[in-house]
Each structure stands twice: as C-alpha cells, then as structure tokens.
Amino acid sequence: MLSDRSVLALSALWIGALVHVDWHLGRPGPDHLSFALPYHWLLGVVAFAPLPWILIRRWPESLARTCILVIGLGVALGQGLEPLGETILYHAGVEPFTSPARWRIFAEFLTAGLLAYVASGALSATKGSRRKA
C-alpha cells in the first residue's frame, strides 16, 4: 500500500508529466515531436478526471485542499520546472516561458482538465453520499 506522501507525489507527477505531453501534442510547427493536434486538450480530461476518485479515498475531509496542492505541484512541474530544464539544457533563453503558443495550449489543457475535475468531483461526492445513506 502506498503512503499518503507517495499518493500526493505520484498524483502531482502525473499532472506534471501530462502537462508536458500535452505541450507536444498541441505544439505547432516542424519541431521534433510537434503534432499540432487540434483536440490535444482532451488529455486534460484524462489527467484530471481520476483525481477526485483517488484522493477522496485518502483525504475525504480535506479533498479540496489536497487537490489544490496536487494540481499546484503538477502545474509547477509541467509548466515551470520542465521549461526551466529546456532553458538550462538546450540554452533556449526565455522562450519556453514566454511563448504565446505554449501558454495557449496550456490554458486549453488546464480549462478542460479543471472542468473534468469538477464534474468528476461532483460524481464522486454524490456516489460517496449515496454509499453512506
């Protein structure tokens, strides 16, 4: 059985990794691993929908606080640490942080993901309240 910290870390890593994968799926241009998929944001649904179901089992009394922590850490990994790595390893300058395309793709991913999270959270909460009744 995984510890509480492991579940938090793996959930944040999941979000961070999928933020980065979404960048490759949605990135326009001839760059390596640029797919320019118009529906890349659907990955946000896959990334965020399972979170309430996983986290409500561990922290039913503080689900909102836990999810904010996981999503915040995941976004910091995928949209902060990963571009920093690009800057350091590939000497890309500030472009990974200031690219309008990167921010648009991220905003689409995050919007779809948060909507899926809210819908999934509502379903998990109603299922949990039905189980108690």
- Tell me: the pLDDT tens digits for 78-100? 999 999 998 999 898 999 999 99
pLDDT at residue 132 greater than cutoff 80: no
* DSSP code for 45: H
* DSSP code for 32: T
The pair of structure tokens assigned to 132 is 């108690």
Residue 30: predicted pLDDT: 87
Q: What residue segments make up the domains of the chain, in order of their start?
A: 4-124
- Tell me: the pLDDT tens digits for 23-79? 999 999 888 889 999 999 999 999 999 999 999 889 988 888 999 999 999 999 999
Global confidence as pTM = 0.90
Are 55 and 63 in contact by the 8 Å Cβ rule? The answer is: yes
Residue 60: predicted pLDDT: 87
Supply the mean pLDDT for the chain: 92
CA angle 26, 48, 72 (to 5 degrees): 90
CA 101/CA 107 separation, integer angstroms: 10
